[in-house]
Structure 1
């Protein structure tokens, strides 16, 4: 039984035309070869799996093909075939990560004095060249200064900054880019079709995204997926293999966010924890989804109609404003970076969700009808129906909103009272909510923000607060920010405390309601406090359930 060759080796490009995603390097090398403008040392830089060693081997064939120096080696002569099989005697490959010492380099460089055995050029490919010791670099430098005419060096590295400048200056450098996801996906589909393996587009997209621009990683993951799926590739199996969260949870989170249902958000987080999902991966995937929603809002034509969950993406694009999505994206990124600082991943993840909920605009519910499916009318009274009826018939006492009388002519106002009247949104609102006012007057305002939130101090957010203050006071206001320790309670904490008190009042009022108590006794019912929502007064003085 013959051994199956791994896809990364089987489908390694044999010439420049087969190379994916490095057109700028291919064009430069092709032109140099065709014009016979050859350099003695080439440096290929880039992340893992983007084609550095592959390009080096193709270059070796181009320089030694029996048909002559050419950018399109024949692939059939003995030189080309031996390079492909790794048996070409005049192609010397060295892994600098395993051979860092100067003795190895001296032995290698001594051999450069001898002419090629059978080839036109003796090619030295040194991978991860940045791992060489300082003395090894010094030994190499002498050869690079006066190289023999029959020797070509191809150096490859993932970290060019560790290479001495004296070496860099003697090399022709090419920076290989991460391969775009679309090109990786098309290449994987082409391979799967030729290998006659069944697949779905969603699975390929998941593998492509997980590869992070590395074609070798993509092919290795593809090999793994084929084995995992027993010869076919399906989305559910690929998600399990990669440990990627089910997308439906992410959509449910955002739809619940739009409904401002904190209890349901925590319930979803509990379900995700029970499924042993990685919350780090969840925040990463949430950021990916938010990026797609942002695209749907700004350049909808780039979202393909065959994209999974196409309809739900565009529904959320209508429910949220672009500012909301940009804010959520930033919160997701910061939440993920702070995850290792949290007491545990669950706490870090749920705090990120609560942060999104905190900075939601108050009028978002206008678009919530897009998310709510009609429910059948229930004619038979139940304990739940009676309690809901009691709640709707007897509105709870609510906390009054910030007085509209506070303004430019008021001599007594504070920063937490002022913020809602500035009508800030997104990250500007977040900056204001996390700041403490050290000086507060109609002429000058000095705000201090703790070091942990200093990432919010971007000029564009400060400018939005400045413009809002100028509009509110009807004249230019001097606004300054500083980073320091907070001496009191910042507005966001006061807001959270007020909401907690409001929720506690709502629960207490329901628990004391005689109708609710009667239902509990009659039906042996249990009050689900997480379902209780306080009422909010709108600007017209009406009460509406949130």
Structure 2
């Protein structure tokens, strides 16, 4: 006898032999036991999940000589003929090849004839969605009211293509895709009966490659047996499928977790010899990191769908939540980018290197900052050079305090000139210092009109101290070089500064009000206050963020950190180690840290900083609204203050 493939040899012969479709079998068994039989059944599902097999089993149950039963004997002539595919009253029709309306009319004409051998005439129509609309129309009346001796069993992989008029006339059963666990268990049973030696990882590779189809799994098993010369090994199955072993995935992840770059590149080089599909590898990594995250958030939720539940649980304990999220997002983006990379391996390597280089807590930004030797171009803009020279310029000019009003004279004259002529910056104007007397009479009309608020402005400057400190110019670098000392003695007689303070002064002016508002909250001086002095501990990143939402209490050498439930869920051992290191650096090596869940109250660093920020913001808005220069602009030009754009002068506080 010729060899029979496993998919046909191990086709289920009873309902008990079916794997993974218990919800369908339960309904059919109860219907057969109670004799509540419908005239039309529709079985849907992907390929190879048992649609046709259930149809043949149901035909045996209906025509077994022992009676209508969910357990056919399998020995009578009807059962044997149905099993062998030669039962005259079981008509199997392939709708993919017989789609015409004439074929359907022939079927409906023959429906009226009684069965020849069996109790029922069973029509098993496979891929019924391939019928044309005309065929469906010719079939509808017969499908709705067939003779008592006729049963219709329809099977399809695409029920969306069926007319709703057909769906409404059938009992529909959706067959599920086989899980890898079901497929691996069935393959274990089949190979044991066939006496084929196998390795457990090979079964999981076949189960995953089958993609939910038991028939595909058995066909791949046949191919793997021939490939491996009557035995199944994981390496042979991996080579046959063109994929990598689950152990290769494990080695890649271990290299990522350990931060071992050479081992990671060595592993990529090794698996590239098999010419794998890198998109499939990234999909495997995505599945793994997804299950790791589930295990971290909901312990015990990791299933054994891929035969690696223990590895997932161990990785969930070893990997931080931030790393798992970074790896998942990097693999997701890298898989999308594979289609546009010049080379698939290049894109795969870059994806893994991003995971390795940008892990949370890894100080990977320092090398680019000093890559040029000693003075990096990238570090210059980050050091904010603009504020640095300003204190130096201010400290270099204490001996000439009076010329501060003169730069304002120069700056005030420039906007007036720019209205009629276009000089950008009148730097070569040391000579005009001898000519201000003839030009001054041009400005008095403006000065006389605004004399009241200018006088109040000068009074505010004199009471606050140095004029420049309270009203610093934002663009004063080129102007400070021009003022001569002989014109500086006329602060009141020079009315031209009017336009300049209107546009430059409002931002720094509210600084004293801001500082006084920030200091409203009473805090003890001379001792460490958790919410006030937290930033001095130097805890950065995620540990600092989580700790800032907690309240600290100290009992001897034991410091208790009370954190609310939402933030405590994100706290892990790595975070606690960094917080403890900062505390020991401040209070001594004998300090012990204990964390507990609860309500931290209002005295947390995060809440304190939020109150400080709101106070500064409110003070800044109030100061802008009360500023006489701003009021004058609003009145003269019918302007409006956009309060959403007001920001407190954070840099001046430092």
Return the TM-score normalized by structure 2.
0.54
Partner of 1:362: 361
CA displacement, residues 120-147 of structure 1 (integer Å, 9 cap, x when unaligned)? 1111111111111111111111211221
Measure, in 1, the Cα distance between the counterparts of 2:242 and 2:303: 25
Q: Which moved more, 1:251-260 or 1:11-20?
A: 251-260
SS in 1 for 2:23: helix
Residues in 2 aligned to 1:161 and 1:470: alpha-carbon distance in whole angstroms: 55
- Structure 2 residue aligned with 1:299: 299
Task: Tell me how far 1:253 sits from its aligned partner.
Answer: 3.0
- The structure with the largest alpha-carbon Rg is 2
Aligned-pair distance for 1:334? 4.5
Q: 1:61: how far off?
A: 0.5
Question: Deviation at 1:333?
Answer: 3.9
Please list, as runs of the form range in 1=range in 2, the aligned pairs for 1:114-153 lying within 5 A after superposition: 114-153=113-152
Tell me the SS of whatever aligns to 2:38.
coil
SS of 2:230's equivalent in the other structure is: coil
- Partner of residue 189, structure 1: 188
Between the aligned partners of 2:199 and 2:350, the Cα distance in structure 1 is: 35
Report 1:400-411 matches (<5 A).
none
Secondary structure of the equivalent of 1:182? helix
Residues 511-540 of structure 1, C-alpha deviations (whole Å, 9 max, x = no match): xxxxxxxxxxxxxxxxxxxxxxxxxxxxxx
* Other-structure match for 2:44: 45
Instruction: For residue 314 of structure 1, report the CA deviation from its aligned partner.
Output: 5.4
Contact 2:39–2:151 (8 Å) recurs in 1: yes
Q: Residues 403, 157 of structure 1: CA spacing in aligned structure 2 closer, same or farther, 3 A cutoff?
A: farther
Q: 1:136 to 1:364 in 2, by over 3 A?
A: farther
Q: Aligned partners of 1:28 and 1:59: how far apart in 2?
A: 12
CA-CA distance at 1:270 after TM superposition: 3.9
| TM-score normalised by the chain length of structure 1 | 0.64
Q: CA deviation at 1:355?
A: 4.2
Alignment-derived partner of residue 65 in structure 2: 66
**Alignment map for 1:513-524 (pairs within 5 Å):** none
Which residue in the other structure is 2:341 paired with?
Answer: 342
Larger mean Cα displacement after TM superposition, 50-59 or 341-350: 341-350
- Structure 1 residues 272 and 198, CA gap change in structure 2 (3 angstroms): closer
Aligned length: 390
Describe the shift of the 1:354–1:314 C-alpha distance in structure 2 as closer, same or farther (beyond 3 A): same
Judging changes above 3 Å, is the alpha-carbon distance between structure 1 residues 300 and 236 closer, same or farther for their aligned structure 2 residues? farther
In structure 2, the CA distance between the partners of 1:235 and 1:261, relative to structure 1 (3 Å rule), is closer
The Cα of 1:4 is off from its aligned counterpart by 1.6
- SS of the residue corresponding to residue 249 of structure 2 reads helix
Give the match's secondary structure for 1:154.
strand
Higher RCO (Cα < 8 Å, 6 or more apart): 1
Q: Over residues 371-397 of structure 1, what are the superposed CA-to-partner deviations in whole Å (9 max), with x where a residue is unaligned? A: xxxxxxxxxxxxxxxxxxxxxxxx977
- The residue that corresponds to 1:462 in the other structure is none
- Superposed CA offset, 1:232-282 (max 9, x none): 111111111111214444334333334556676455434433332221222
Q: Residues of 1 paired with 2:114 and 2:3: CA distance?
A: 38
Residue pair 1:202, 1:308 contacting (<8 A) in 2 also: no
What is residue 80 of structure 1 aligned with on the other side?
79
SS of residue paired to 2:173: strand
- Correspondence 1:2-21 to 2 at 5 A: 2-21=1-20
CA RMSD of aligned residues (A): 3.6
Q: Where do residues 145-164 of structure 1 align in structure 2 (5 Å cutoff)?
A: 145-164=144-163
CA distance in 1 between partners of 2:379 and 2:318 (Å) = 27
Matches within 5 A, 1:411-450: 423=541
Change (3 A) 1:293 1:73: same
Deviations 1:447-478 (A, max 9, x none): xxxxxxxxxxxxxxxxxxxxxx99986679xx
Residues 424 and 358 (structure 1), Cα distance of their counterparts in 2 relative to 1, 3 Å cut: farther
Question: Paired residue for 1:285?
Answer: 284
Question: Aligned partners of 1:67 and 1:158: how far apart in 2?
Answer: 33
* Structure 2: segments with no counterpart, 5+ residues: 365-372, 388-506, 511-538, 544-605, 615-654
The separation in 2 between residues aligned to 1:264 and 1:69, in whole angstroms, is: 65
Moved more, 71-80 or 324-333: 324-333
Unmatched tracts of structure 1, length 5 or more: 366-394, 412-420, 426-468, 477-546
